[in-house]
Chains A and B, each alone.
Chain A
Amino acid sequence: MSTNGKHKLTAMMLVRNEAERYLNTCLSHLNVYTDEIIILDDASTDNTSEVCLTYPKVKLYRNEEPMFIANESLARKKLWQLVEKSNPDWILAIDADEVFEDQIESQIGYIMAGDDYDAVEFRIFDFWKSMTHYRVDGLWNPWNRFSTLLIRYQPGKVYSWPDLPLHCGRIPMEYRSHRIKRFQSNIRVKHFGWADEKDHIKKYAFYKQKDPEGRLQAKNHLESVLDKEVKLEEWTESKSLSF
């Protein structure tokens, strides 16, 4: 029996050295409303694996050598194959620094009960140098973009990933086509990846080194990480529904 009655929800996550960041917050939320959390630990050198294993729904797999840095596409494929084995009805593709608004807990079962769509999109809010404000200028504006994070798994279909070293996306190509029926949800996702200023230079340097010409991501978006002046909005949590 799944947490939400009818549909088995499997979360999938690729992690590396997340123990000191937002992993606990993320997993304690997921533990409430998912049925299984498949994690591929990409050769962490901290105690990420130990943290993961404190959550009963986690099924942990480990790379002995880092795979994501060398070839993101391969790492995504490996995680996907592990998720397919868990026989899910729906798959939630989430990162270790992302947390849904609490209302997901009461509503996810109803979202998965829908027949009219196979992919669900959400707005992701990038918290900026704080846990209270998110960034809204330029390409950071969370209100005008949706990301597909929840997909209906269809056994027997062939799934593929773009052969890119970086930014190859967290869901298979087949879910990005025009033909996939989508639902855009009002439930929002908080992304804490930029919440700690200390991470900024490190992340910037990583992407800059992987993609110096800006071929895989708009170059001005990467450069905007270093902007001195940014526009922020204060986060207000939406109330949960009692039905």
Chain B
Amino acid sequence: MAKISILTTNHYSPEGNRIIYGGAERYGVEFTKMLVEMGFDVEWWQIGTGWESEIIPGVKLRTIPESEAPLKTLPRLNQAFYEKTVDADLAVYFVTFLAYPQVKEKSISISHGIFWDYPGFDTDLQTDTERREWLRRLYIALNGPQKVVSVDTATIQWAVSTWPGLFNKFEYIPNFVDTEKFKPGDKVLGNNKVRVAFPRRMTSVRGINEAAYAAEVLTKKYKNVEFHFIGRAHSDELEKQLTQWANRSQNIYYYWKSPEDMPRVLVNMDIVLIPSKSTEGTALSCLEAMAVGLPIIAGYVGGLSDLIINGYNGLLIKPTPKNLVNAIDYLLKNPDLRQKIGRNARETALAFDITIWKKRWAEVISEVLGK
């Protein structure tokens, strides 16, 4: 049985006190299930003090106490992983920069989208020298593995326009949705409210502030409109603020659900907001809402434009506060259009079904292992 060792940064938080199931974590779980189904022996590694856990029953996750991250890379973690996985037949670097500076003989890395487009990145790397060095390391990380699997085309276009030699390095495997689990359904009858959902991590790059502004404006304008903010925040403090903020308003809700409970929740929504401003791939939450047949308002960032064609299966906007309010208002006033766009969204989601994702991955893995 061939062995696959996977390196990530933090599937679980290194302290273990906050448990977050974000998109990357869910990708990790589905990826593991797929590899086990394919008959591989799988193990995971991440940063941690030496504790062990399981990523799914029977698949171990071990930890390496190396968290030093000069210039947003983790060379010591990379090296420790290299040394500890001598019996691996294939290494998967779950985040592209983990493949710096050295990769195993047979290896694949995964790009979850452009992550260097958020404004803080420019201040995180302050000098020209630092930025040049970071770029040099990114090139080494992208050039090392036999294949870099990218979840969107934006990353590939950026990398190839910067380094044309990387053209054949990339494989485009967009994110997935299980269209059997996420499908249109009947709402629980109740209060006849129109519900707008923000089913994301509550962070600025996802457009939480713009969405919160839109919620305040539009719940004042319409008494029959509810806003549902569904997801965890990056800190306890922010979760506190969001809870208290939502509790002050009659039609604003803040909560989160386990990923397996989300199909039921989405079925009860009418419009979904994915107003990301940066660090975005082909968001699972976007695909899930599409599969449920909901009209989506998305920012034209990262991989979202691989999923949404403006006016056909969603609205694609520059996610400014005003644009977001106007786009939601437009859909609130046009229920027939919501229906039509939602139907097209469902049709589109079928092209991203998880069975297709698994097939594409199987091809890439067998190509790399066969070399």
Residues of A that sit less than 8 Å from B by CB:
110-111, 113-117, 121, 143-146, 178-179, 182-184, 186-187, 236-239, 241-243
Residues of A within 8 A of B51 (CB): 178
Check B239 against A143 for contact (C-beta < 8 Å): yes
Checking A116, A145, A237, A241 against B258 with a beta-carbon cut-off of 8 angstroms, the contacting residue is A116
> How distant is the Cα of A115 from the Cα of B261 in the complex, in angstroms?
10
Residues of A within 8 A of B250 (CB): 239
Residues of A within 8 A of B268 (CB): 243
Check A238 against B53 for contact (C-beta < 8 Å): no
Residues of B that sit less than 8 Å from A by CB:
16-19, 51-54, 187-188, 190-191, 236-237, 239-240, 243-244, 246-248, 250, 253-261, 264-265, 268
Check B243 against A238 for contact (C-beta < 8 Å): yes
What 4 A-B pairs come out closest when comparing CB atoms?
Answer: A236-B247, A243-B188, A242-B190, A243-B268
Q: A117-B258, A143-B236, A236-B248 are in contact. Are A241 and B253 (CB under 8 A)?
A: yes
Check A239 against B260 for contact (C-beta < 8 Å): no
Residues of A within 8 A of B53 (CB): 178-179
Check A239 against B236 for contact (C-beta < 8 Å): no
Residues of A within 8 A of B18 (CB): 184
Check A178 against B258 for contact (C-beta < 8 Å): no
Residues of A within 8 A of B246 (CB): 238-239
Check A183 against B19 for contact (C-beta < 8 Å): yes
Q: Offer 29 A-B interface pairs, CB within 8 angstroms, sorted by A.
A: A110-B257, A110-B261, A111-B258, A114-B258, A116-B258, A143-B239, A178-B16, A178-B51, A178-B53, A179-B53, A179-B54, A186-B239, A186-B255, A236-B244, A236-B247, A236-B248, A237-B247, A238-B247, A238-B254, A238-B255, A239-B247, A239-B250, A241-B253, A242-B190, A242-B191, A243-B187, A243-B190, A243-B264, A243-B268
A-B contact count (CB 8 A): 66
> How distant is the Cα of A97 from the Cα of B247 in the complex, in angstroms?
24
> How distant is the Cα of A121 from the Cα of B258 in the complex, in angstroms?
12
Q: How far is the CB of B300 from chain A (nearest CB, A)?
A: 31
Q: How far is the CB of A130 from chain B (nearest CB, A)?
A: 18
Check B236 against A144 for contact (C-beta < 8 Å): yes
Residues of A within 8 A of B265 (CB): 243
In the complex, which residue of chain B has the Cβ closest to the Cβ of A237?
A: B247
Q: A110-B264, A179-B53, A241-B255 are in contact. Are A186 and B190 (CB under 8 A)?
A: no
Label chain A's interface by main secondary structure: loop
> How distant is the Cα of A117 from the Cα of B56 in the complex, in angstroms?
10
Residues of B within 8 A of A184 (CB): 18-19
> How distant is the Cα of A94 from the Cα of B52 in the complex, in angstroms?
30
In the complex, which residue of chain B has the Cβ closest to the Cβ of A185?
A: B256
Residues of B within 8 A of A241 (CB): 253, 255
Residues of B within 8 A of A121 (CB): 19
> How distant is the Cα of A242 from the Cα of B239 in the complex, in angstroms?
22
Check A114 against B260 for contact (C-beta < 8 Å): yes
Q: How far is the CB of A78 from chain B (nearest CB, A)?
A: 31
> How distant is the Cα of A154 from the Cα of B240 in the complex, in angstroms?
34
Checking B52, B236, B244, B247 against A178 with a beta-carbon cut-off of 8 angstroms, the contacting residue is B52
Q: How far is the CB of A126 from chain B (nearest CB, A)?
A: 15
In the complex, which residue of chain B has the Cβ closest to the Cβ of A183?
A: B258
> How distant is the Cα of A143 from the Cα of B247 in the complex, in angstroms?
16
Residues of B within 8 A of A238 (CB): 243, 246-247, 253-255
Residues of A within 8 A of B244 (CB): 236
Check A143 against B187 for contact (C-beta < 8 Å): no
Check A116 against B16 for contact (C-beta < 8 Å): no
Additional A-B contact list (11), CB under 8 Å, known A113-B261, A178-B52, A236-B244: A110-B257, A110-B261, A114-B261, A121-B19, A146-B17, A178-B51, A179-B53, A182-B19, A239-B246, A239-B247, A242-B188
In the complex, which residue of chain A has the Cβ closest to the Cβ of B265?
A: A243
Q: How far is the CB of B190 from chain A (nearest CB, A)?
A: 4
Residues of A within 8 A of B259 (CB): 116
Check B258 against A143 for contact (C-beta < 8 Å): no
Residues of B within 8 A of A110 (CB): 257, 261, 264
Q: How far is the CB of A161 from chain B (nearest CB, A)?
A: 22
> How distant is the Cα of A144 from the Cα of B13 in the complex, in angstroms?
14
Check B54 against A143 for contact (C-beta < 8 Å): no
> How distant is the Cα of A223 from the Cα of B185 in the complex, in angstroms?
55
Residues of A within 8 A of B261 (CB): 110-111, 113-114
Check B188 against A116 for contact (C-beta < 8 Å): no
Check B253 against A143 for contact (C-beta < 8 Å): no
Q: How far is the CB of A105 from chain B (nearest CB, A)?
A: 14
Residues of A within 8 A of B256 (CB): 186
